[in-house]
């Protein structure tokens, strides 16, 4: 890893096709800054992207990357990291990808606690299919497929994470570039699964959860006496429905990543030209 890596090194030469003003621009910039700030470079970084507007991020960033199947980005990231723990693995996706079709993988990835970061661009809407309710949409949010609202409460991903044994839960806001980059950086530096939900507003299809709404509502945890090491405090903040918070809600400093617990130390890429030494013992076991 070279020390002179700049965040623009993580930018590809492909121009984003996100709508002007999309929250994803800020989200991606913060991710690139955080990667550079933590001493990574494109050749040791693996980005896994989901499907949706957010999933396009793999194309706009420069690193090793895979843009996969809808909802399955986390398992891919887990496989990459376990096969080569020397890589910096970052998974990015949206609220539909992570909390709807991929919700099962989300809670299990949280439980597994592999050392990687997961950045969810939460705009509370399906943008790429032109504006349908997402799992984080409000109960009365009117869309083409839910004319009277989804009539079901939004999922609380941070509560899901906490209940699943998360070791790092943070909330960020794409418009606050400085804080957003810091929070993602903390997620990268965390020894385990660093989960960051990012409010990343959709300026085209969501006229409720807007930049203005988040700016007016969000409270920076750094300006409160919140103790991120205290699970009960985290729980109270996460379950509070009236307020939005920004910052690290919970972090278990004692976290030991899954791959370390499994004793994986090196890349699995190198193998001998033939059967490994001692392979004949496997045959003898069947005597």
Partner 1 sequence: MPDDLNWAIGGEAGDGIDSTGKIFAQALSRAGRHVFTSKDFASRIRGGYTAYKVRTSVDRVESVVDRLDILIALTERTIHENEDELHDDSVIIYDAERTTMQDVEVPGDATALEVPLKRLAEDAGGAIMLNVVALGAACEVTNFPIENLDESLQKRFGDKGEAIVENNKQAARMGQEYVQEEFDYEFGYDLETTDEDYVLLNGDEAIGMGAIAAGCRFYAGYPITPATDVMEYLTGRIDQFGGKVVQAEDELSAINMALGAARAGARSMTATSGPGIDLMTETFGLVATSETPLVICDVMRSGPSTGMPTKQEQGDLNMTLYGGHGEIPRFVLAPTSISECFWKTVEAFNLAEKYQTPVFLVSDLAMAVTEQTFSPETFDMDEVEVDRGKVVDENDIDTWLDEKGRFQAHFPAADGVSPRAFPGTADGAHMTTGLEHDELGRRTEDTDVRVEQVDKRQRKVETAREQEEFDYREYGDPDADTLVISWGSNEGAMREGLEFLEEDGYDIRFISVPYIFPRPDLTEEVEAADDVIVVECNATGQFADVVEHDVLERVERINKYTGVRFKADELADEIKQTLAGDAGTTTEVEAE
Least Å distance, CB 61 to partner 1, is 8
**Closer CB to partner 1, 129 or 267, in the complex:** 267
Least Å distance, CB 282 to partner 1, is 5
Q: What are phi and psi of 195, to 5 degrees?
A: -100, 120
Q: What are phi and psi of 265, to 5 degrees?
A: -120, -30
232: Cβ contacts below 8 Å, ≥ 6 apart: none
Least Å distance, CB 102 to partner 1, is 9
Instruction: List contacts with partner 1 (CB under 8 A).
Output: 12-14, 42-48, 58-59, 61-69, 71-72, 74-84, 86-87, 104-105, 108, 262-264, 266-269, 271-276, 278-280, 282-284, 286-287
Q: Which residues of 222-233 are buried (b: 16+ CB within 10 A; e: fewer)?
A: eeeebebeeeeb
Least Å distance, CB 73 to partner 1, is 8
Least Å distance, CB 284 to partner 1, is 7
- C-alpha neighbours within 13 Å on the C-beta side of residue 111: 10
**Closer CB to partner 1, 145 or 267, in the complex:** 267
Asked whether the beta carbons of 121 and 23 are under 8 A apart, the reply is yes
**Closer CB to partner 1, 59 or 156, in the complex:** 59
Tell me the C-alpha distance between 65 and 47, whole Å.
5
Least Å distance, CB 222 to partner 1, is 34
Strands 244-251 and 168-173: antiparallel
**Closer CB to partner 1, 9 or 142, in the complex:** 9
Q: What are phi and psi of 276, to 5 degrees?
A: -65, 155
**Closer CB to partner 1, 223 or 277, in the complex:** 277
**Closer CB to partner 1, 48 or 121, in the complex:** 48
**Closer CB to partner 1, 101 or 181, in the complex:** 101
156: Cβ contacts below 8 Å, ≥ 6 apart: 238, 239
Tell me the C-alpha distance between 194 and 49, whole Å.
16
Least Å distance, CB 31 to partner 1, is 15
Strands 116-122 and 218-220: unpaired
Asked whether the beta carbons of 102 and 71 are under 8 A apart, the reply is yes
């Amino acid at each position: 890893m070279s020390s002179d890596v700049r965040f623009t090194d993580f930018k590809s030469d492909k121009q984003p096709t996100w709508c002007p003003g999309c929250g994803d621009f800020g989200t991606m910039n913060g991710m690139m800054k955080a990667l550079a700030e933590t001493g990574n470079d494109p050749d040791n970084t693996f980005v896994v992207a989901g499907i949706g507007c957010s999933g396009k991020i793999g194309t706009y960033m420069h690193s090793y990357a895979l843009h996969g199947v809808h909802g399955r980005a986390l398992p891919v990231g887990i496989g990459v990291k376990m096969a080569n723990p020397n890589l910096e693995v970052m998974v990015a996706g949206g609220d539909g990808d992570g909390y709807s079709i991929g919700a099962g993988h989300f809670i299990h990835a949280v439980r597994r606690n592999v050392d990687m970061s997961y950045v969810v661009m939460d705009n509370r809407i399906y943008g790429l299919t032109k504006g349908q309710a997402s799992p984080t949409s409000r109960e009365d949010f009117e869309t083409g497929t839910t004319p009277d609202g989804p009539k079901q409460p939004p999922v609380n991903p941070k509560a899901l994470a906490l209940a699943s044994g998360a070791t790092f839960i943070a909330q960020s806001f794409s418009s606050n570039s400085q804080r957003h980059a810091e929070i993602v950086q903390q997620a990268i530096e965390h020894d385990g699964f660093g989960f960051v939900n990012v409010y990343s507003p959709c300026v085209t299809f969501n006229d409720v959860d807007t930049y203005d709404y988040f700016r007016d509502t969000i409270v920076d945890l750094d300006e409160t006496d919140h103790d991120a090491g205290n699970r009960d405090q985290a729980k109270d903040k996460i379950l509070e429905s009236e307020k939005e918070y920004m910052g690290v809600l919970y972090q278990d400093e004692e976290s030991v990543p899954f791959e370390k617990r499994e004793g994986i130390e090196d890349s699995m890429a190198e193998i001998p030209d033939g059967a490994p030494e001692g392979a004949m013992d496997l045959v003898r076991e069947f005597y």
